[in-house]
Amino acid sequence: MYGRTSQRICNNNLTYRFFDKTCANIEQSKYQTKLRCHEKSSCQILIDNNLFTDPCGLNIPKHFEIHYRCIDKKQICTKLFLNCSKSSDLKCIQQVQDEFSCQCPTAICQYNNNNQIIGFTKKHCPEEQLQGFHWPKTTINKSQYLPCPSLCTGQVFRYCNFNSQWSKANYTNCECPINQSGQ
């Protein structure tokens, strides 16, 4: 955190001066620190009002304070994955996901007979035959493209949405010749 949160810190030669203002730019400090130090074994940050927007004003002494802990990224992500429920998709808390850069699978927890998590089952739209097209099993949030019907050029597509439901087939990219008989 860059700013001033206490009257006791950075108070050299200021015994008789009173700053009633506490000021800090926490979000920017967090962002700049992560940008320079995330996933590094060491880092250095030189404090500068050009790097950090001065939250207090030029005549107010400020300090930079960091609290950190080293973690094993794989270990923390595994713990997050263990918090998923049987009935719904695994959801990582955005704040934790941002701080630790965990990749959350689009999946449902898979359990054994002892109610222990043994892995994840990917959600998908089922394989389907529709209007002469064979739509293969597709992971959610993905589109599937197939060639347009014979004599036409382009591709027809469908989207597998988050609820494992296929969208209607979209033929707008298909171009078909017009049959003008009788001329």
Torsion of CA 131, 134, 139, 140, to 10 degrees: 0
At residue 8, the pLDDT reads 61
Most confident of the ranges 2-16, 35-49, 76-90, 105-119:
35-49
Q: CATH: 3.40.50.2300, 3.90.950.10, 3.40.50.300, 4.10.1240.10. Which one for 123-176?
A: 4.10.1240.10
Q: Which residue has the higher pLDDT, 69 or 98?
A: 69
Quote the pLDDT of residue 95.
39
Is it the case that residue 100 has pLDDT exceeding 70? no
Of 47-56, 146-155, 165-174, least confident by mean pLDDT is 47-56
Q: What is the pTM of this model?
A: 0.38
Decide if 107 contacts 121 (C-beta within 8 A).
yes
Where residue 158 falls (left for φ over 0; alpha for ψ -120 to 50; beta otherwise) is: beta
- Mean pLDDT of all residues in 134-158: 91
pLDDT of residue 147: 95
Task: State mean pLDDT over 141-169.
Answer: 91
Q: Is 148 exposed, middle or buried (0-12, 13-18, 19+ CB in 10 A)?
A: middle
| Percent above pLDDT 90 for the chain | 18
Which of 18-27, 119-128, 169-178 is predicted most confidently? 169-178
Give the tens place of pLDDT for each residue, 24-76.
677 777 787 888 887 777 788 877 777 777 777 777 777 777 776 666 655 55
Q: Where are the domains of the chain?
A: 1-70, 73-122, 123-176
Q: Per-residue pLDDT for 157 more than 90? A: yes
Quote the tokens at residue 84: 């998923």
Mean residue pLDDT of the chain comes to: 71
pLDDT band at 134 (very low <50, low <70, confident <90, very high): very high
138/144 Cα distance (integer angstroms): 7
* pLDDT computed for residue 122 by the predictor: 66
